[in-house]
Structure 1
Amino acid sequence: MITIQNLTKTYHTKSGEVEALRGISAEIRDGDIFGIIGLSGAGKSTLLRCIALLETPTSGSISIDGRDLSSLRGRQLTEHRRQIGVIFQGYNLLMQRTVSGNIAFPLEIAGVPKAEIRRRTEELIHLVGLDGKADAYPSQLSGGQCQRVAIARALANNPKVLLCDEPTSALDSFTTKAILDLLSDINQKLGVTIIIITHEIGVVKQICSQVAVIESGRFAEYGVAAEVLAAPRSVAARQLIGVGGAL
């Protein structure tokens, strides 16, 4: 269970304070696929970065399985970060490394023995449907294949939570469906909790069990995805759903 309580994030800029998150609260159950949807600048990516421990909230708390992440330091923090896999919007692959090398990278950092790295890498290549591509470089892959490498790399350390920042924004509709099918399959097979940041209603419709609509750093509403989509209560949700696609 991921519990977010009264989370705020304020940035101090030359022109003054910017409140990126304002009192966010939610509970995300184990095994859920939780969508966070909103316009650009609504606070989606800031929230994801806070959950990923890449940003420190100004106030409030994020707990996973009852453990407040803000209380973690040193080795405990490093170990906990390994339980959270992150898929970035731009893939963030190492261009000088092969598919196998990219997937192996977090395992190398964690000090995993070479034989185990090889076994785990081969297992993940098969899981994400990249058989025969182990020795290919990112420049030789399509966008969808690069995203599959990024997904495999995020799964390398067997995380409990998978955070996806706009995982399909650069993909065509056919490839988008394939990537979402893969994430759904991973969710079912591995039981990993998935949080997806998106601005596309189609992503929520296809894959999400729960959804939160974020506007100006606040949750305008959240709940069961099918119910929110069928009868949105907030103006922000109605605007997003009324467009019927990417914004």
Structure 2
Amino acid sequence: MFKIENLTRIYNTGNTQVKALDGVSIDIDTADIFGIIGMSGAGKSTLLRCMGMLDRPDEGSIEIDGVDVLSVTPRQLIEVRKQIGTVFQGYNLLMQKTVAKNIAFPLELSNTPKEDIHKRVTELLELVGLSDKAQSYPSQLSGGQKQRVAIARALAVNPKVLLCDEPTSALDPLTTRSILSLLKEINQKYSVTIVIITHEIGVVRSICNKVAVIDNSVVVEQGETKAVFESPRSPVTRQLLNMGGDTL
């Protein structure tokens, strides 16, 4: 699915260069629920933005199903982006649009016929358990409900992969469990590959079959979640486990 090799991203801040990613290599298979975990500032969100083609790395390659997405034409890039849905930290909902209109927005941008939009929005509202909130506005929703809308919107154009940036960081434990259960259902029902960026070890332990640990812009270990957590090799993995390893 995703094959990332030697990914490097450098930002210029005044007279200083900051290497946000330093030779990152990760393999993510189709239908994985893959966790990328690390401390704040480790490079997780930069990696997610590069994977979602929202930021362009300075070096390295990103392949999706064997296609190097960094070398495609602008027209081909539009099609590549349709394969990737992103759930942003903080939801990024359109506050002046209803729940239904938020979910419909990507479909409208892709000139989907109105009758098809209505059908797809209805399906997604049912999937995320918000059929009764179609005409509500984001300000009328709880945090968990907003996250469900964000997930539904990311799924609108039937992507192959769902990128989730700290999807539970602002949620209480009960709501976190319900969102993780929804993500697992989506993965199992539709074989959508899910990548979760998080600093919460419990999230990875609960839902991810594989994990990569990133520290100071470098992937320090990766593999099957159970194997990595039972025999951590890096100090940062051990630190994360000591900070809170309870299963949600």
Taking structure 1 as the reference length, what is the TM-score of the superposition?
A: 0.98
**Residues 38-93 of structure 1: CA deviation (Å, up to 9, x unaligned):** 00000000000000000000000000000001112222111110110000010000
Amino acid at match of 1:111: N
1:21 Cα deviation after fit: 0.3
Residue-by-residue CA offset, 1:117-176 (whole Å, 9 max, x unaligned): 000000000001112111111011100000000000000000001000000000000000
For 1:130 and 1:136, the matched residues in 2 are separated by: 10
Structure 1 partner of 2:82:
82
Letter in 2 for 1:12: N
Instruction: Look up the match of 1:23.
Output: 23
The structural deviation recorded for 1:243 is 1.1
CA distance, structure 1, for counterparts of residue 73 and residue 170 of structure 2: 36
Give the letter aligned to residue 225 of structure 2. A
Map 1:113-152 to 2 at 5 A: 113-152=113-152
Q: Determine what percentage of the aligned residue pairs are the same residue.
A: 62
Letter in 1 for 2:98: T
**Structure 1 residues 2-43: Cα deviation after superposition (integer angstroms, max 9, x where no partner):** 100010001111131100000101110000000000000000
Residues 177-230 of structure 1, C-alpha deviations (whole Å, 9 max, x = no match): 000000000000010000000000110011000000000000010000011111
1:106 CA drift (Å): 0.2
> Residue 141 of structure 2 aligns to which amino acid in structure 1?
L
Tell me the amino acid that sits aligned with residue 4 of structure 2: I
Instruction: Give the secondary-structure state (helix, strand or coil) at the position aligned to 2:204.
Output: helix
* Aligned position for 1:55: 55
Code of the residue aligned with 1:60 in structure 2: it is: G
Deviation at 1:236, TM superposition (A): 1.1
Look up the equivalent residue of 2:159 and give its one-letter code.
P
Q: Give the partner amino acid of 1:194.
A: I
User: CA offset at residue 245 of structure 1?
Assistant: 5.1
1:234 aligns with 2:234: yes
Superposition pairs of residues 98-113 of structure 1, within 5 angstroms: 98-113=98-113
* Superposition deviation, residue 244 in structure 1: 1.4
Tell me the number of residue pairs that the alignment of Structure 1 and Structure 2 aligns.
246
- Give the match for residue 180 of structure 2: 180
What is the aligned partner in structure 2 of residue 5 from structure 1?
A: 5
Stretch moving more, 7-16 or 213-222: 7-16
Q: Which residue of 1 aligns with 2:210?
A: 210
**Equivalents in 1 of 2:16, 2:114: separation in Å?**
50
CA separation in 2, counterparts of 1:85 and 1:124?
A: 14
Asked whether 1:189 is paired with 2:206, we answer: no
**Cα RMSD (Å) of the superposition?**
0.9
d(CA) in 1 for partners of 2:10, 2:46: 10
TM-score normalised to structure 2 length = 0.98
Instruction: Supply the distance in 2 between the matched residues of 1:35 and 1:147 (Cα, whole angstroms).
Output: 18
